[in-house]
Amino acid sequence: MKEFVTVSEAKSILKSQKIRGGSVHLSLQKSLGKFTASSVLAPMDVPSFDNSGMDGYAIIWDEKGEGREVVEVIQAGAKPDFVLEKGKAVRIFTGAPVPEGADTVIPQEEIVRTDEMIFFNAQKFFRGANVRKKGAQCKVGWEVVPAGTKITPGTIGLLASLGIREVPVFPSPKVSLILTGDEILDLGNELLPGQIYNSNGPALESYFEMLGIHEVKIYKVKDKASEVTKVISEALENSDFLLLTGGISVGDYDFVKGSLEQNGVEQLFYKIRQRPGKPLFVGKRSEKLIFALPGNPASVLSCFSQYVKPCLLEWMGNPQAWNGPSYLPIEKDFDKKIPMTFFLKAKIDSGKVQLLPGQESFNLLPFGVADGLVEIPQDADHTEEGSLVAFYPW
């Protein structure tokens, strides 16, 4: 039973889980933002026929000849069924098939036309000019998109050009979020004495949304052991990930840890040498990860950014799920006495990290404007102005 681990121990335990969703085939439009689960091969040559890159005249190249007799017109979408003869030209348009025999297109601005003839300066061209050859983009069997690629509008354009309608991707997980606490009230209601607005729920829902996770079931439960146990059991059945907020510390009404144990959740670790978010619990049941986030709002967002988010990204096949932070100079000296890792809300200003006021774990004010979190290592009691610190954007 791992207890009170360091930040890097916690991360290496989570990294070693390597839990991924199973590959699914999604339609192109539904796959935007997802990661390919296997490589995609071209099922056809593109272009699938030689075609003109310009509005102009298709000819058979001949260094000496600068005049041609115009014999036909070919529109885009047409299917020419003749072979062009030497000395002849066809009027052709961008994207139209170049007829058999022709190998070069002269743009219309570059010719002088009489009734039946065109003339051009051959020195300005070469054999093959302005013809887009069959297979110039890709040939059948080429790997056009490797496994682990993020699907962008560009990827979708490429796949559509190949006639591909579905793509193998890692899906988004189904997530359950259990909000514990008698004092929590939903927005839109009037607070009674002792109550507070539920801010963890909306904050996490938007974090899921930002990561492309849309199937989130929210449960609200009172601080009552039997109810917490029951709702965990239900939520675990219906989701790939389970998150809880609150009730994971040592108070008389903190039932989450016991209820998780009753539901057969195996502890991966409990408590981290960090601030905020010390009492984070992470467990596992079969191939599902369970995160019990300490209820204080800063603990919730900080633990989500550092531990939950990478696991969700890993599940969704993102090869950069555990990418490290960037390093930026800190604007002012920072001192701490406690040998724990600190995650501090920060703004980036002129390339420098500015720590925001109000770092207590109940205080959401700095989150209102923070660009992300700065990590001050466990043993760094003094961080000098200008030294590089790890910065994690949202």
Q: Which residues bind ligand MOO (CB under 6 A)?
A: 275-278, 294, 296, 299, 361
- Structure tokens belonging to residue 163: 């006639």
Q: Which does 254 bind (CB under 5 to 8 A by kind): ligand LQZAQKY5, ligand MOO, none?
A: ligand LQZAQKY5
CB of 220 to ligand LQZAQKY5, least distance (A): 9
326 with 351: CB under 8 angstroms?
no
146 versus 251: smaller Cβ distance to ligand LQZAQKY5: 251
Considering CB distances under 5 to 8 angstroms, the limit depending on partner class, which of ligand MOO, ligand LQZAQKY5, none binds residue 249?
ligand LQZAQKY5
What gap in Å lies between CA 168 and CA 41, rounded to an integer? 11
Give the Cα separation of 106 and 121 in Å (integer). Answer: 10
From candidates 99, 246, 310, 317, binder to ligand LQZAQKY5 by CB under 6 A? 246
Choose among ligand MOO, ligand LQZAQKY5, none what residue 181 binds, the Cβ cut-off being 5 to 8 Å by kind: ligand LQZAQKY5
CB of 338 to ligand MOO, least distance (A): 10
Residue among 173 and 181 whose Cβ is closer to ligand LQZAQKY5? 181
Q: Where are the beta strands (DSSP E) in 17-165?
A: 24-27, 40-41, 51-52, 56-59, 67-74, 88-92, 104-107, 111-113, 117-120, 131-132, 143-145
Is 302 a binding residue for ligand LQZAQKY5 by CB under 6 A? The answer is no
321: helix, strand or coil: coil
Tell the residue number behind the tokens 């039946």, with chain if given. Answer: 116
Long-range interactions of 156-163: CB distance < 8 A, separation 24+: 156/28, 156/29, 156/31, 156/32, 159/28, 159/40, 160/28, 161/46, 161/137, 162/42, 162/43, 162/44, 162/46, 162/138, 163/43, 163/44
Q: Does 283 bind ligand LQZAQKY5 (CB under 6 A)?
A: no
Stretch that binds ligand LQZAQKY5, among 75-83, 128-136, 168-176, 244-252 (CB under 6 A): 244-252
Q: Contact positions toward ligand LQZAQKY5, by CB under 6 A?
A: 179-181, 183-184, 196, 198-201, 245-251, 254, 276, 278-279, 294-297, 299, 361-362
